[in-house]
Structure 1
């Protein structure tokens, strides 16, 4: 787990799950798992992105970073994903 971004509006954490070694008889490299958790601090909602959506998020962030973005630019990009957020943030 690694904090990638933390602003007044959003927090983004990357989760990396190491791949299991290939089992006997399996071909090719083992698939890795992981994703990104995005938290909207004001709406107190979150989403976990994995698979193709996580890859799309990663590529969008990488493209954004190439242009030296401001905090507002990054927040605007992350805000695109807020409509998908259904899970309320719960503290234990």
Structure 2
């Protein structure tokens, strides 16, 4: 788990989970499964994206960053597109 982004509006955390390939323990485990958890702090809801949507999110962030440092507003505007799909309420324990 890696916190990638934390602004007053959003938190983005990346998860990488190794996949059991069923191959012997001596063989390298090169497959992984993961995704991104996006938390909307104001709406108090979150979404976990994986697969093709996670890949699209990652490519979009990489394109936005490119060879410059985007503003917090630019990053928040991009993240908002995904955060708006979140339906899971954030629950504190």
Q: TM-score, normalised by structure 1?
A: 0.87
- Map of 1:12 onto structure 2: 12
Q: Which residue of 2 aligns with 1:83?
A: 84
Preserved CA contact (<8 Å) 2:21 2:31:
no
Distance in 1 between residues matched to 2:83 and 2:40, nearest whole Å: 7
* Structure 1 vs Structure 2 CA RMSD: 1.6
Q: Which runs of 5+ in 1 are unaligned?
A: none
Specify every segment of 5 or more residues in structure 2 that has no aligned partner in the other structure, as ranges. none
**TM superposition shift of 1:30:** 5.9
Alignment map for 1:4-83 (pairs within 5 Å): 4-23=4-23, 31-66=31-66, 67-83=68-84
Per-residue CA deviations over 1:8-51 (Å, capped at 9, x if unaligned) read 00000000001324437xxxx86420000000000000000000
Report what 1:3 is aligned to: 3
Bigger shift: residues 66-75 or 35-44: 66-75
Residue correspondences, number: 88
Give the distance between the partners of 1:10 and 1:35, measured in 2 at CA.
Answer: 16
